[in-house]
Amino acid sequence: MKHFNVLHTDKRARAGRLKTAHGEIQTPVFMPVATLGTVKAVSQEDLKTIETECLLSNTYHLYLQPGLDTLEELGGLHKFMRHPGPILTDSGGYQVYSMSNLRKITDEGVRFQSHIDGSSHFFTPESVIDYQARIGSDIRTFLDVCVENPATHEAAAEALKKTKAWAERAGKHFRATTAGVDEKLKPLMFGIIQGATFPDLRRESALHMAETVNPDGFAVGGLSVGESKNQMHDTLALVTETLPKEKPVYFMGLGSPEDIWEAVGNGADMFDCILPTQNARNGQVLTSQGRFYIKNAPYKRDDSPIDPNCDCYVCKNYSRAYLSHLFKTKELLMNQLLSVHNLRFLINQTKIMREAIKNGNFAEKKKDFLDSYYRDTPRPERDKVRLVPKSNTSED
RNA sequence: GGUUGGGUGACUGAGCGGUCAAAAGUAACGGUCUGUAAAACCGUCGGGCUACGCCCUACGAAGGUUCGAAUCCUUCCCCAACCA
């Protein structure tokens, strides 16, 4: 049974449908991030209201808390969090990257030191597949090795070598452990493509994944980690050109609206990102006319909604002035309201994209979006590289 | 009326002879964040410059001591507590 159908194309942009055990996903899709089995500050009711199609959760974090025994006893993640829709789980590969001071990589797997209590845990490509089975996610990903940017070709090649070997092991294990499962209930496995920003490595990774591992979908990892926008988009374009066209492409960790427009134009179908929720908690909101900080002076007495063009319940019922007040007074409701809005904004963008692809005017709609989004602010430099490490970001 | 303790930048509050345009926190102003170790973090924060330095104006007010005072002395004005 074919789990993914490309319904419409407009140049390289595609609109499609992905079937999972917990329902269909229309693509392009934005998946809110529920690392610990919750989209931070957002309720299940909210997720439904904003028309969430798929959630992303995290193997590493769920493994530590509440623990897989607990999760399994309570019927898996869907039942535990009462989420009826599809869930994709990240393998923990991102934690290999972001918690580099707490882990050690060997050919066999990754030894983590828990960030909670310091206890030691060993993840292998196979065990991570088993963990995701216990979580019960619909889309499961392989353990990979993501390198920081900038990386030397040597380091990226070394990481890719492990990623490839691990993908083969994980794919084999996945097939062996899901062999008898009914097609309709069968989870999907997504392989992760690495190779930093080196074209030869990216091509090698994509070809290897497609030809040797042949997963249900392709995740593009190791991007949006500090490289320039040009590098990021060029790398994606090269990967989608290399990959077969009949399977979904998931750009891991991409979440600013302008980037998603660009990436959909380059053939990506699925996205997840902490940005809309994390930025919401830090007071930044997205609108069709650009993004801004709700806490900033101009909004203190602004009685208008965050985005007059948004259909979310926050924009219909709350003013900028009130939300600004909530932020400044550290009222917890702010986290929920701004998160709901930002998520709904991105989901609405994907709906506009699908419609545009169907109508064959994607480029035009993309231009409309960007013209409006950058109406009052200069467009960012596309070749600018993030120089400061993740843990020490600042700008003056 | 007396005694004692105080009056420091928007606020709270350190400093108690030079290294003080003055700690720290708050507020204010601006920003960062892309498969979440984040309801986190980072700047700026008296004014003016021919700015990695210089010049003004500043620690209740006015005098004074000193090479030099937010810091010591005198007087005055406020504030708090207590005593009449």
Supply A206's token pair: 């994509």
What's residue A7's pLDDT? 98
Place of tokens 């219909």: A316
| Backbone torsions φ then ψ of A260, nearest 5 degrees | -65, -40
The C1' atom of B52 and the CA atom of A35 lie apart, in whole Å, by 46
Structure ipTM: 0.91
The C1' atom of B21 and the CA atom of A395 lie apart, in whole Å, by 25
Q: Which nucleotide is nearest to A222 (CA to C1')?
A: B35
Among candidate residues A46, A144, A272, A307, the one labeled active-site is: A272
Return per-residue pLDDT of chain A as tens, 396 residues: 699 999 999 999 999 999 999 999 999 999 999 999 999 999 999 999 999 999 999 999 999 999 999 999 999 999 999 999 999 999 999 998 999 888 999 999 999 999 999 999 999 999 999 999 999 999 999 999 999 888 999 999 999 999 999 999 999 999 999 999 999 999 999 999 999 999 999 999 999 999 999 999 999 999 999 899 999 999 999 999 999 999 999 999 999 999 999 999 999 999 999 999 999 999 999 999 999 999 999 999 999 999 999 999 999 999 999 999 999 999 999 999 999 999 999 999 999 999 999 999 999 999 999 999 998 887 888 888 875 544 433 322
Cα distance between residue A357 and residue A393, in whole Å: 37
What's residue A393's pLDDT? 32
What's residue A34's pLDDT? 98
What's residue A391's pLDDT? 42
Residues 136-175 of A with CB under 7 A from strand B: 141, 144, 146
CB-strand contact A391/B, under 7 Å: yes
Model-level pTM?
Answer: 0.94
What's residue A314's pLDDT? 98
Residues 78-117 of A with CB under 7 A from strand B: 90-91, 93-95, 97-99, 101-102, 115
Cis peptide before A150 (omega within 30 of 0): yes
What's residue A387's pLDDT? 58
Cα distance between residue A296 and residue A90, in whole Å: 35
Going A256 to A258 to A262 to A268, the CA torsion angle's sign is positive
In the annotation, is A90 catalytic? yes
Amino acid at A233: H
